[in-house]
Amino acid sequence: MKKSLLLICTVALFAVACDGKKEDATKRIDVENANKVESQVKNTKFPKVKFDRLSHDFGNVKNNDAVYTEFELTNVGEDDLVIINAEASCGCTVPEYQKTPIKPGETSKIKVRFQQSQQGLQQKTITLTTNTENVVELLTIQANVAPRD
């Protein structure tokens, strides 16, 4: 009986000791992996976008008149800038953008067409999805839409 009890205690002791080492090894591997990922992110060369401005005010426009503006952007990063998508907050706003990669140092334009039938102060956003570190860039436009004479 004493031998059985001693054997059970010994097995339990080894099980607990081994489980702790396994947990420590797992934590050590997790920390090492996190450090590797952090190092890779720090060494990654991201594109970076710089805009000439982030908003545009069309001022007073007539109901249903189409007006246009352009936002100039420059890739000031170290890798190709890709605009994955440009989406307006309303169907009255239509952005056009370069679909090919923008090399470091190159400039491109986001052309925006705005045509609104709703009167009053109108504010719209253009959401750019990019391969920059921020991923999303926001541009805004506004206009005071007046009725036709």
pTM of the model: 0.71
Domains of the chain: which residue ranges? 1-44, 49-146
Which residues of the chain carry a pLDDT beneath 70? 1-43
- In the chain, DSSP finds a helix count (H) and a strand count (E) of 1, 8
CATH fit for domain 49-146, picks 2.40.40.20, 3.40.50.1820, 2.60.40.10, 3.40.47.10? 2.60.40.10
pLDDT the model gives residue 7: 47
**Under 8 Å CB-to-CB from 26, ≥6 apart: which residues?**
none
Task: Give 3-state DSSP helix, strand, coil % of the chain, rounded to 5.
Answer: 30, 45, 30
Tens-place pLDDT, residues 4-16: 444 454 555 455 5
Residue in 117, 102, 114, 122 with CA at minimum distance from that of residue 48: 102
